């Protein structure tokens, strides 16, 4: 448990609530859930699940999710580097931004 602005926070409960919203196809929740998996907040860190959720969010127009996929594939620190996949997600991000 942590405390934010004088209000107790329960990361596991936050994860559960975010997961329910993500499973209900809420795009922003999908991005937040991916971040929680990527950082191990409220759940055990799982980069494969993070990538899966980032992809779900990016495919529904969330540019930050596409940007994160681009970063992950470009850096290759947590997953195998792939310039082809990095380029793809950069193009997806740019396409989303062009539509906004």
From 74, 4, 63, 7, select the one nearest 31 (Cα to Cα): 63
Torsion of CA 31, 10, 42, 64, to 10 degrees: 20
Whether the per-residue pLDDT at 2 is higher than 60: the answer is: no
Distance of CA 76 to the CA centre of its chain: 16
Length of the chain: 100
Give the confidence band of 1 by pLDDT, cuts at 50, 70, 90: very low
From 63, 54, 55, 60, select the one nearest 91 (Cα to Cα): 63
Q: Which residue is listed with tokens 């991000």?
A: 93
pLDDT in tens, 11-55: 999 999 999 999 999 999 999 999 999 999 999 999 999 999 999
């Amino acid at each position: 448990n942590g405390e934010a602005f004088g209000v107790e926070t329960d990361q596991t409960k936050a994860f559960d609530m975010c997961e329910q919203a993500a499973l209900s196809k809420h795009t922003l929740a999908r991005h937040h859930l991916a971040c929680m998996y990527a950082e191990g907040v409220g759940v055990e860190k799982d980069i494969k699940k993070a990538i899966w959720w980032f992809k779900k969010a990016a495919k529904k127009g969330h540019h930050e999710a596409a940007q994160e996929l681009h970063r992950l594939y470009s850096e290759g620190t947590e997953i195998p580097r792939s310039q082809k996949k990095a380029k793809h997600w950069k193009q997806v991000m740019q396409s989303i931004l062009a539509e906004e």
